[in-house]
Every structure is written in C-alpha cells, then in structure tokens.
C-alpha cells in the first residue's frame, strides 16, 4: 500500500514513436491550453501549477521524461487529506489534450516549437525536477518515516515524537485520551492565567506540547508534519527550531493576555507560527515565482479557513493569531540570511535577534497582563480570614459575661462583616468573568444577612429577650441556603 503526505495521482505515458523533444513540445502546449503556469522547464520535463478555482486548489503537475516514457504526476500543494479526484482529473485532461495535439500537429511544427522552448530551459541540471517546493514531501515514503529524523527533515520529527510521547505519558498516568479534565491539563503544564501569572511562567512553553485529546493531537501533528516537510529544508535546523519555539511562546503570551480563565494547550499556536513564516517567504522572491503563487493560495486558504473556524467556542484563536503574526515577522527577519547563505554569521545574528525579540514580547505581555484573577483569589483569602474572625462569636461560652458578648458582636463581628462587604465591593471593580460576579453577589447577600442577624443578636442579648427568635431562625435559614448555593457553584 502506498503512503504519501498529500493526495496525488501518478500515470506513465509511453512515448511510442515520439522523441523526448516531441513529447516535451506536446506536453508544454497541452499545459498552456489548460492554462497551467509552467516553471522549471528542462530537457527532461517541467513542473506546472494549475490555477486556483472551484475545481482546483493549485495542484502541482510534474512531467518527467526518460527512457521512452513520461511520468506524469499531479499532487496537491495544500495540506488537504483528500483531493476528491482532482489529481486524477488533471492527468486525464492532460493526456486527452496531448493526444488531441498529437493528431493535429504537423511534423515540421515540433522542431520549431522545441527551438522556441530552448531559451526558457534550465541547462545542465537534470535533477531540477526534484527542487520543487513540495518535492521534499517525497521524503515521507512510509508511516514510520514520519517519526525518523533525516537530513532536511530533522527537527520536525523530533517535535512530533515529543508531542506524542508527552500525550502517551499523560494517558499512562490516567488522563482521558478523548478529553482530559481541566485538573489534569493544569497539572501537566497547560497555560492558565491564574497559575501562569503566579510565577509559573514556564507554562508559556509547556502548554505547546500538551493536547486536549487524541483528535486534537492528530490534527495538530498532521499540520506540523505538512508545514515541517515544506519549510524545514529552506530554514535548516537552527532557524526552524528557533522559529517554532519563539512563535509558540508569543502565541501563548497572546492567549494569556486575551483569556481570563481559559485553559489553553496545544501546538497550534506554534504551528500557525510556522505557517506565518512560510507565508512571509512566499510574499518575497526567495521562492520561485510560479511555485510561490500556487503555494501562497493553498496555504492562505488553509490559514484563513482555520482562523474562521477558530471563531467557534472552545478554540484558542488568540494563540493562532499571535503565532501567525509573529511567524510572519520572523519569516521576514530570516529572508536576508536565507538569501545570503554564504555569510553564516548573518544566520546566527538573525536567529539571536529573533529569539531576543520573541522573549522580549513574551516578557512584556507577561508583565502587562492584568492579574485580576490573582487579585481576586487574594481578596477571597482575606474574606475567609475576616469571616473566621467574625464567627468567633459562636465559639464563646454560654456563660460569658454579657458585656463581653456585646463587645464581640459590635467591635469584632459587625466590624469584620462590614470589612467583607467593602472587600467584595472593591473586588467587583476587577475585570472578572460573569460567574465570579454572580458569586460576589451571593457573598454580598451572605454578609448583609450576617449583619442583620448580628444586629438582632445584639438587641436580644442587650434586652435579655427571645422575641427576635423567629427572625433569627429566618435569617439562619437564608444564610444556610446561600452557603449551600456557594458550595454548589465551586
């Protein structure tokens, strides 16, 4: 069974009584008639790209002529998992037009048209067809090749292996492989503002290697595999790793700033970063023009679709956008050193600058992110402490002096309940999620009931009467109801 990274269709075409030159003429004429963009033309064949349309996503057509045979291949340039028959249709149309031209072209036309092709041919490089931007995907010849580092595809499999290993470790430890719970994700290093801002900055990195279920993992690893195979040969190991880690950290920082209580995990921020790097390269002349045009369309459609899909609930689009934009900036930053490969020092200077900028952005965002949840948690701890002080009244002995009881009620009990009312009112000014505002309203009602109850107790003690008994029973029931409601909402 054949294995490939992207959908393709391959067909051999026997030249029979045609020479290599005659077939090359027929093939180029057929490609022109089909309005394909031809690039990298040589004596042994050419590469062409279909135009983007409702029926095509910009497939690459590769024609290789050798030993009386032409190998015709149509392959998707995007990272779709199925082509719905487009590649087969491309080759079928191509062959049909070739046969039609073969029967109508006069013998003298072949020589003239071949001479017209010569000025556009790349001379002296018979392996030019292997230099297509998507030819690197041919390194993935089997399922095991995905996980094996090789020349030009080294960092990508290491990252894939690491993500899978961490997921397996989570599963072995008892995590649900379909949907791990929040406690598990936080324990393994997910990005969660209250924890991340509480000195646990390393979550900006660790969350990039966690996944919320096996389907989340598989989709992200497929996207990483695709962009890694395309991009790593251009960037090399150092630039690729620096770009991946840098965009991942920036994406996590943007997510941290954007979300109050969202638990964020996944490699998608860094992966969007790598797509951003590739998009930046595709908008420069670093990559051959015809290939650039087709890839820019297919990659752009993928990014656009996923950003729109990310507007749905439960998807961290903030990380996607942060990764994408930082990736584009990094991509542009790499261009000078990529174009001047003969100056290795330039490569290291740019990677150091990129790393410093990414860390600087992450540090600034980390420091500027409002820690309202942290302030809220500290306020609630103070609330509990005040409450404990106010409830000391009920620990007094029954035979305590009357003056002592009245003092405890007025100078300590009512004082601490008033302090808690003021505390909750101050916490309400923070930027909090709706559920915490709802909790605050219950806490305010709870404190107000305690104040009313304590005032009645004070009157009952000072007047030495039980005429307020029914009212106190009512207040105590309301207090109990609120306490139970607060426990249920935890």
Active-site residue numbers? 268, 320
Q: Which two tokens stand for residue 30?
A: 């057929």
The dihedrals phi and psi of 42, each to the nearest 5 degrees, come to -145, 175
How many Cβ atoms are within 10 Å of 232's Cβ, its own excluded?
A: 24
CA atoms of 478 and 456, how far apart (whole Å): 15
CA atoms of 372 and 197, how far apart (whole Å): 10
8-14, strands of its sheet edge to edge: 8-14, 69-75, 60-66, 45-49, 37-42
Output DSSP code: residue 292: H
CA atoms of 94 and 91, how far apart (whole Å): 5
CA distance readout (Å), 372 to 182, 192, 311, 354, 423: 20, 13, 25, 31, 14
Q: Which two tokens stand for residue 324?
A: 């994408």
Angle at CA of residue 221, ends 220 and 222, nearest 5°:
90
CA atoms of 251 and 317, how far apart (whole Å): 10
Q: Which helix (H) or strand (E) holds 74?
A: strand 69-75
Sign of CA dihedral 210, 318, 192, 489: negative
The dihedrals phi and psi of 319, each to the nearest 5 degrees, come to -65, -40
Contact present, 76 and 6 (Cβ < 8 Å): yes
Number of H-type helices and E-type strands within the chain? 17, 5
Q: Which helix (H) or strand (E) holds 39?
A: strand 37-42
Give the three-class secondary structure for 34. Answer: coil
Give the three-class secondary structure for 482. Answer: helix
Q: Which helix (H) or strand (E) holds 171?
A: helix 155-172
CA atoms of 52 and 68, how far apart (whole Å): 32
Q: Which helix (H) or strand (E) holds 465?
A: none
């Amino acid at each position: 069974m054949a294995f490939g990274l992207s959908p393709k269709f391959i067909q051999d075409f026997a030249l029979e009584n045609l020479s290599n030159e005659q077939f090359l003429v027929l093939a180029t004429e057929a490609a022109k008639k089909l309005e394909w963009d031809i690039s990298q033309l040589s004596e042994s064949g050419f590469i062409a790209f279909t135009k983007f349309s409702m029926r095509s996503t910009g497939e690459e057509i590769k024609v290789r002529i050798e030993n009386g045979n032409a190998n015709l291949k149509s392959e998707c340039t995007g990272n779709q998992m199925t082509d719905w028959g487009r590649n087969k249709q491309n080759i079928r149309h191509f062959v049909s037009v070739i046969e039609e031209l073969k029967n109508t072209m006069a013998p003298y036309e072949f020589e003239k048209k071949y001479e017209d092709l010569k000025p556009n041919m790349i001379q002296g490089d018979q392996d030019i067809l292997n230099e297509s931007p998507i030819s690197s995907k041919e390194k993935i010849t089997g399922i095991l090749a995905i996980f094996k580092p090789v020349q030009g595809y080294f960092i990508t499999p290491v990252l894939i292996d690491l993500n899978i290993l961490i997921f397996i470790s989570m599963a072995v430890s008892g995590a649900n492989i379909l949907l791990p719970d929040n406690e598990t994700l936080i324990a393994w290093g997910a990005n969660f503002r209250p924890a991340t801002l509480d000195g646990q900055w390393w979550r900006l990195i660790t969350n990039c290697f966690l996944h919320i279920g096996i389907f989340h993992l598989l989709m992200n690893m497929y996207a990483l595999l695709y962009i890694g195979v395309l991009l790593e040969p251009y960037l090399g190991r150092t630039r690729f790793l620096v770009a991946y880690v840098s965009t991942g950290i920036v994406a996590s920082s943007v997510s941290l700033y954007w979300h109050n209580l969202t638990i964020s995990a996944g490699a998608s921020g860094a992966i969007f970063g790598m797509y951003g790097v590739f998009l930046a390269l595709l908008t420069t002349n670093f990559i051959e023009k015809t290939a650039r045009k087709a890839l820019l369309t297919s990659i752009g459609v993928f990014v656009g679709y996923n950003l729109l899909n990310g507007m749905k609930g439960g998807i961290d689009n903030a990380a996607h956008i942060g990764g994408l934009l930082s990736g584009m900036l990094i991509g542009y930053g790499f261009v000078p050193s990529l174009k001047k490969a003969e100056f290795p020092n330039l490569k290291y200077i740019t990677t150091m600058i990129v790393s410093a900028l990414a860390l600087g952005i992450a540090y600034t965002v980390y420091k500027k992110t409002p820690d309202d949840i942290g302030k809220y948690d500290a306020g609630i701890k103070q609330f509990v402490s005040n409450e404990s002080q106010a409830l000391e009244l009920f620990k007094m002995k029954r035979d305590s002096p009357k003056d002592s009881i009245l003092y405890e009620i007025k100078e300590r009990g009512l004082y601490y309940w008033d302090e808690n009312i003021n505390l909750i009112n101050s916490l309400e000014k923070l930027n909090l999620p709706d559920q915490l505002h709802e909790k605050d309203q219950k806490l305010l009602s709870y404190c107000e009931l305690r104040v009313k109850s304590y005032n009645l107790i004070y009157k009952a003690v000072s007047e030495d009467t039980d005429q307020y008994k029914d009212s106190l029973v009512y207040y105590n029931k309301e207090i109990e109801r609120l306490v139970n409601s607060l426990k249920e909402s935890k």
